[in-house]
Amino acid sequence: MAREVSRLGDCTCMGWATPSAKPTLEISSFSPSVVVSDPTQTSQSPGALREAHLAMFGDHDSVAYLPSDASATARACLEADFSGVISRGEELSVVIQALESIVAGGVYIDGVFGQAGVAFFSHARDIGADDGLSDREREILLQVARGRTAKEIARMLSISPKTVETYRYRAMNKLGLSGRGAVYDYAEGQAWLA
């Protein structure tokens, strides 16, 4: 994968495929903006793996590249502050799109891990229960405030982008909001982004 992604031009990738071995000097002196790993291939928890990578490489985004049946690990990765969870079954073009989204500051949750994402982000249900929004409307507004596109939200929640837009429109209408900036300001005022 590192070799294929390196062909894109604006990135340098290094592969390290032995989780039990120490990285080579070349890799350990590398300062990546993103580290892609498979936490199912190590005895460490996702949190411990992220901490080890932070100690090795400094500040970066962590991305889990997981088997499609590893939903529990996907959720543990999200709880450990990974910026994305991607299924190893995805096409390379989807992996690249996910990495681009993460580098741009987003969070990427592969559709096969949608339920893990919903469970992780479900704290939105507990926030602002008296605002007149349904749980789904609140959840979608939270993701809009975080800068996610309708397509990204749809993948995360395993619904269509059109359904996302419907919920977004309805929620914004209920709150009298217009535009992404107003959604962000509202979410920030409600401490949803804390």
Residue-level pLDDT at 124: 43
Q: Which domains does the chain have, with CATH numbers?
A: 2-114 (3.40.50.2300), 127-189 (1.10.10.10)
Average pLDDT, 10 consecutive residues per value, the chain (194 residues): 67 62 60 86 89 84 91 87 89 85 80 68 52 85 90 87 87 88 85 73
Residue-level pLDDT at 104: 76
Closest C-alpha to 109, from 163, 60, 73? 73
Residue-level pLDDT at 125: 46
Which stretches of 2-132 are DSSP H helices? 2-6, 25-28, 46-57, 71-79, 92-103, 114-121
Residue-level pLDDT at 191: 78
Residue-level pLDDT at 9: 63
Residue-level pLDDT at 141: 92
C-alpha triplet 171, 139, 81: angle, nearest 5°: 150
**Over the stretch 90-113, which tens digit does the pLDDT of each residue have?**
888 888 888 888 887 777 888 888
